[in-house]
A and B are shown apart, each in its own frame.
Chain A
Amino acid sequence: MTGHTVTDTPHDHPAAARGTAGVPASARRRVLSGVAVIVTGLVCALAWGLGAHAGDAVLRLSAVGDGSPILQIRVPGRQAGLVLGAVITLLGAWQLARGFSRRAMRAVSAVVVGCFVLAFLCWAGTGQPGTPVSVFGLLQQSIFAAIPLILGALAGILCERSGVINVAIEGQMLTGAFTAALAATMAQHAGAGIVLALLAGGLMGLLLAVFAIRYAVNQIVLGVVLNLFALGLTSFGFDLLMQRDPDAYNNPSVLAPLKIPLLGDIPLLGPLLFDANILVYITYVLIIGVQVSLFHTRWGLRTRAVGEHPKAADSVGVKVRATRYRNVILGGLVAGLGGAFLSIGAVGAFGAGMSNGKGFIALAAVIFGRWSPRGAVGAALLFGFADALQTLSSAITMPVTIPSAFLSMLPYLVTFLAVAGLVGHVRAPAAGGVPYMKG
């Protein structure tokens, strides 16, 4: 609690005018993050700049073999690393000396991460100078890997913003994946798969809601149990039906990409974002929809109130339990959709336990994204990028052979730094995990 005189704003306070003695905590954070950015910049310049071989790196920005014009840029790798490192270092120095505003700092962190990654790619391209590095492929794969994570994270946000912790995203996705494959095969129609995946996820959500809200079961334990339940159920179904007769039960076709006219023709962005399957477009809509409604609609305000201080919400007539039910079920629907993407959106078949921890990574994205859709998308993209990097290392020869395990760790490390140092501390919805009981 701040202690200035009740009727005064801090600026009227005579003591404020007299200046400050000592270093307040915000200044300390500024110094820390400034130093962190400078170190990142120096690492960038040293490793990716000086560590690069002589010669040019070629970065390809277009897909290969689809007839579209080839788009590639050629940059001297060493110089690129040094310049990008210098840019990062300068940003860090500015933060250290003057400090960016909170809002500007978000953009700055994005630029820092972007520069660092770009420098890395230039460095990687000098391993065999002249051989193109497919930046397009890398980005495409990142997005592809990020989509289910984003849907899972949105599911988590919907639940947790209303005060119910959702550890069961994994199970909800798995159920969705199973149902989508089964329904799409049996009905011979992808739409049936999507609809039933939604329903299956929603049902899992309902199960979570009933036990968490009505019976006040510990939500972490409940989530774990639901995950095991989903794993058992889908594996059983897989053995019973899909293994025996894959053609009749597990042979959905992969959702076909739909190219959006005009938008799909934009160089680089078009093929990257607007030539994908229907689930990807639904994801775009959901991202914007959840972000906007959470912060700008009546539903969003009430949801957040219920997640922060249910008693206060109740005292002004907001129905706490109803709000939570609705949000948890909505979350289940969205997670089910994420599951559908795994089976009929990407692979074209269900495999036992195919969610493979993605639900938990989505949960991490919720936290790293500070419970906001925008942040979670950023985090999910970083995780997606981690996935894509591993394949890159096997596709090209780098100046130094980096173990792929290390490569896949790198983006997590960057995320960790970004969250710990640059974004500030994370705060979960205050009433998360606490059931609401009335006297």
Chain B
Amino acid sequence: MKLELRTITKRFGSVTANDRIDLVVEPGEIHALLGENGAGKSTLMNILYGLHRPDEGQILIDDAPVSFGGPGDAKAAGIGMVHQHFMLVPVFTVTENVMLGHEPTKGLAFLDRRRARRRVTEISHRFGLEVPPDAVVADLSVGVRQRVEILKALSHDARLLVLDEPTAVLSPQETEQLINVIRTLRDAGTSIVFISHKLREVCRIADRITVIRRGAVVGTADPSASEGELASMMVGRPVRLTVDKVPAEPGEVVLDVRGLSLVGDDGVVLVDDLTFSVRGGEIFAIAGVQGNGQTEVTEALVGLVKPTTGSISVAGRDLGPLSTGEILDLGVGYVPEDRLRDGLVGDFSVAENLVLDLYDKPPFARSGALDLARIEADATARVREFDIRPPETTRAAGTLSGGNQQKIVLARELSRPLKLLIIAQPTRGLDVGSMEFVHRRIVAERDRGTAVVLVSTELDEVLGLADRMVVMYRGRIAGEVPAGAPAERIGLLMAGSAPDDQAAVPPGDVASAGVR
């Protein structure tokens, strides 16, 4: 399918999300869209998919103008879309989610579940995207949900497929698999629009790249361009893609975890006898493929789940009897992995979200009343510092672009005095410019003497930031790796194969290695 967008313009109040955008996607082409957070990529794609109405402009499919009243029309025209945020009904099964909107029926509109299920298994085999057809989506991990989302888009034989940051939550292996699927589709003649902030994979997969900045197209690039060139084209200034830092100067032990185990509701052991400690002034990274217990560890560290066995102490205080609020008051900063769900109230304004856990304390509250002027002034400063766009503190946080929502949570947690910072997937969904900024902030936090626990599935990020790192596999520490170890070694540990030399310390010795 040939797609042509002509002078698409979309305004949200004072914000021009798309400013006369022209874009042509040839049949059988993988077309990558690059742009900063809030540049207007998702908006453009939502317009194409009939979710938003453009203020101006035209959509042409195979050179004929079309007008979509809603996603149903776009679907009927052969467009499929994987949205940036999951569009799955959590209480439905995988099959129900995939069939919703084009349900096979028998008799008087009765659902033909058998046929729908067969369809799911069939396409999941065809593309090598394994999903459990009868599982309820709420029980699935993020990676599997993403696969369901992709299957959903593939299930009605789309001739143009839009993928809005599909790899943000995927492991390297899963990303690899997705890239293969995309290539297969391309070779079969499907046109693809691919959005990602991961420049390396964009360069690998794209046939053509269009860069958007502040709502307007700033140019096109060739996939052979270097990552640095693309980055500066996107951001409009040179970007450092590597992290600058001086060697750590560890101080006192701040976080001490002994024999931590967590057992899930269904009896599955999620975290298995973890022991480690982190000193002030060092970045301790927990690497690993999504779903190997890292999320649960961070939740235990801030008291969101209580350890089944084991103990955690921060600066000598046992966290056992403390509530999450009390733990945060000890000077623990927490940036959760799923920030949009756990870190943000979408209907609250940006300013309110920036003081979400501080609103009842000085300087934001005085004798029981909120000091609104103070909150506002503070919010304005942080919006500027973190480059949150658009820079309006009264906007509902939910209307910001995905990446800018992330920045709000980061700005809040990184702006108070901390002893310990727990930060999960800090740059998920962030553009390269913001990534550079966040990395610098984390290192600065370390240099101020804060102990940092970094959980990340991104190998580059871990390698760039960590002073010490362990790899988690199936709830256990698979090995501790010194900073500067080769990436392949870590990759092997992440995949669960034990290394054969002393690059990694066997699990039993991690405790001693951790305390040093």
Please give the residue numbers on chain A whose beta carbons come within 8 Å of chain B beta carbons, in ascending order.
1-7, 9-10, 13-16, 18, 20-22, 24-26, 296-302, 304-305, 308-309, 311-319, 430, 438-439
Asked whether, in the complex, the Cβ of B475 is within 8 Å of the Cβ of A7, the reply is no
Having A15-B270, A21-B269, A305-B89, one finds 16 other A-B pairs with CB under 8 Å, namely A2-B268, A6-B141, A6-B174, A6-B290, A6-B291, A10-B266, A13-B268, A15-B268, A15-B272, A16-B267, A22-B263, A296-B110, A300-B111, A311-B87, A312-B89, A317-B76
Asked whether, in the complex, the Cβ of A312 is within 8 Å of the Cβ of B87, the reply is yes
- Interchain nearest-CB distance for A199 vs B (Å): 25
Residues of B within 8 A of A14 (CB): 474
Asked whether, in the complex, the Cβ of B268 is within 8 Å of the Cβ of A1, the reply is no
Residues of B within 8 A of A18 (CB): 269
Residues of B within 8 A of A6 (CB): 141, 143-144, 171, 174, 289-291
- Interchain nearest-CB distance for B53 vs A (Å): 9
Asked whether, in the complex, the Cβ of B268 is within 8 Å of the Cβ of A305, the reply is no
Q: How far is the CA of A438 from the CA of B99 in the complex (A)?
A: 23
Asked whether, in the complex, the Cβ of B51 is within 8 Å of the Cβ of A3, the reply is no
A26: nearest residue on chain B (CB-CB)? B265
Asked whether, in the complex, the Cβ of A301 is within 8 Å of the Cβ of B100, the reply is yes
- Residue B349 is within 8 A (CB to CB) of chain A in the complex: no
Asked whether, in the complex, the Cβ of A21 is within 8 Å of the Cβ of B263, the reply is yes
Asked whether, in the complex, the Cβ of A20 is within 8 Å of the Cβ of B110, the reply is no
Query: CB within 8 Å of A: which of B97-114?
Result: 97, 99-103, 105, 108-111
- Residue B75 is within 8 A (CB to CB) of chain A in the complex: yes
| 8 Å CB contact of B269 from A20, A25, A296 | A20
Q: Can you list 19 A-B pairs with a CB-CB distance of less than 8 A?
A: A1-B295, A3-B291, A3-B293, A5-B474, A7-B130, A15-B268, A15-B270, A20-B263, A21-B309, A24-B263, A24-B265, A297-B108, A301-B92, A308-B89, A312-B89, A313-B100, A317-B71, A318-B100, A438-B52
Asked whether, in the complex, the Cβ of A305 is within 8 Å of the Cβ of B92, the reply is yes
Asked whether, in the complex, the Cβ of A308 is within 8 Å of the Cβ of B475, the reply is no
Asked whether, in the complex, the Cβ of A317 is within 8 Å of the Cβ of B88, the reply is no
A14: nearest residue on chain B (CB-CB)? B474
- Interchain nearest-CB distance for A10 vs B (Å): 5
| Given the contacts A312-B88, A315-B87, A316-B75, A3 and B269 also touching, CB distance less than 8 Å | no
Asked whether, in the complex, the Cβ of B130 is within 8 Å of the Cβ of A301, the reply is no
A6: nearest residue on chain B (CB-CB)? B143
Q: How far is the CA of A44 from the CA of B268 in the complex (A)?
A: 39
A318: nearest residue on chain B (CB-CB)? B101
Asked whether, in the complex, the Cβ of A308 is within 8 Å of the Cβ of B90, the reply is yes
Residues of A within 8 A of B102 (CB): 316-317
Asked whether, in the complex, the Cβ of B92 is within 8 Å of the Cβ of A308, the reply is yes
- Residue B261 is within 8 A (CB to CB) of chain A in the complex: yes
- Interchain nearest-CB distance for A12 vs B (Å): 10
A29: nearest residue on chain B (CB-CB)? B265
Residues of A within 8 A of B295 (CB): 1, 3
Residues of A within 8 A of B46 (CB): 439
Residues of B within 8 A of A313 (CB): 89, 100-101
| Given the contacts A6-B174, A439-B12, A298 and B71 also touching, CB distance less than 8 Å | no
B264: nearest residue on chain A (CB-CB)? A2
- Residue B167 is within 8 A (CB to CB) of chain A in the complex: no
- Name the residue among A20, A309, A319 with the largest chain B CB count within 10 angstroms: A309
Asked whether, in the complex, the Cβ of A1 is within 8 Å of the Cβ of B142, the reply is yes
- Interchain nearest-CB distance for A355 vs B (Å): 33
Asked whether, in the complex, the Cβ of B267 is within 8 Å of the Cβ of A24, the reply is yes
- Residue B132 is within 8 A (CB to CB) of chain A in the complex: yes
| Given the contacts A20-B263, A22-B308, A296-B110, A3 and B141 also touching, CB distance less than 8 Å | yes
Residues of B within 8 A of A300 (CB): 111
Q: How far is the CA of A313 from the CA of B266 in the complex (A)?
A: 30
Q: How far is the CA of A25 from the CA of B86 in the complex (A)?
A: 28
Query: CB within 8 Å of A: which of B38-74?
Result: 46, 49, 51-52, 70-74
- Interchain nearest-CB distance for B494 vs A (Å): 11
Query: CB within 8 Å of A: which of B277-292?
Result: 289-292
Asked whether, in the complex, the Cβ of A309 is within 8 Å of the Cβ of B75, the reply is no
Residues of A within 8 A of B130 (CB): 7
- Interchain nearest-CB distance for A35 vs B (Å): 20
- Residue B412 is within 8 A (CB to CB) of chain A in the complex: no
Asked whether, in the complex, the Cβ of B90 is within 8 Å of the Cβ of A430, the reply is yes
Q: How far is the CA of A24 from the CA of B46 in the complex (A)?
A: 43
| Given the contacts A317-B72, A317-B101, A318-B100, A298 and B267 also touching, CB distance less than 8 Å | no
Asked whether, in the complex, the Cβ of B87 is within 8 Å of the Cβ of A298, the reply is no
Residues of B within 8 A of A305 (CB): 89, 92, 100
| Given the contacts A2-B141, A4-B268, A297 and B110 also touching, CB distance less than 8 Å | yes
- Interchain nearest-CB distance for B425 vs A (Å): 14
- Residue B296 is within 8 A (CB to CB) of chain A in the complex: yes
Asked whether, in the complex, the Cβ of B265 is within 8 Å of the Cβ of A25, the reply is yes
Asked whether, in the complex, the Cβ of A298 is within 8 Å of the Cβ of B109, the reply is yes
Asked whether, in the complex, the Cβ of B474 is within 8 Å of the Cβ of A309, the reply is no
Residues of A within 8 A of B105 (CB): 297-298
Q: How far is the CA of A233 from the CA of B73 in the complex (A)?
A: 44
Residues of B within 8 A of A312 (CB): 86-89, 97, 100
- Residue B152 is within 8 A (CB to CB) of chain A in the complex: yes
- Residue B117 is within 8 A (CB to CB) of chain A in the complex: no
- Interchain nearest-CB distance for B48 vs A (Å): 13
- What are the 6 tightest A-B residue pairs by CB atom distance, in nearest-first order? A317-B72, A316-B101, A15-B269, A22-B308, A312-B87, A6-B143
| 8 Å CB contact of A13 from B97, B101, B474 | B474
Q: How far is the CA of A314 from the CA of B52 in the complex (A)?
A: 12
B337: nearest residue on chain A (CB-CB)? A1
- Residue B139 is within 8 A (CB to CB) of chain A in the complex: yes
Residues of B within 8 A of A318 (CB): 72, 100-101
Residues of A within 8 A of B411 (CB): none
| Given the contacts A3-B270, A22-B309, A24-B264, A301 and B70 also touching, CB distance less than 8 Å | no
- Interchain nearest-CB distance for B287 vs A (Å): 15
- Residue B96 is within 8 A (CB to CB) of chain A in the complex: yes
Q: How far is the CA of A57 from the CA of B481 in the complex (A)?
A: 79
Q: How far is the CA of A316 from the CA of B266 in the complex (A)?
A: 33
Q: How far is the CA of A26 from the CA of B266 in the complex (A)?
A: 7
Asked whether, in the complex, the Cβ of A297 is within 8 Å of the Cβ of B83, the reply is no
Asked whether, in the complex, the Cβ of B101 is within 8 Å of the Cβ of A4, the reply is no
| Given the contacts A13-B474, A297-B110, A20 and B89 also touching, CB distance less than 8 Å | no
Q: How far is the CA of A24 from the CA of B99 in the complex (A)?
A: 34
- Interchain nearest-CB distance for B249 vs A (Å): 34
- Interchain nearest-CB distance for A157 vs B (Å): 16
- Interchain nearest-CB distance for A437 vs B (Å): 11
Residues of A within 8 A of B74 (CB): 317
A299: nearest residue on chain B (CB-CB)? B109
Residues of B within 8 A of A308 (CB): 89-92
Asked whether, in the complex, the Cβ of A9 is within 8 Å of the Cβ of B51, the reply is no
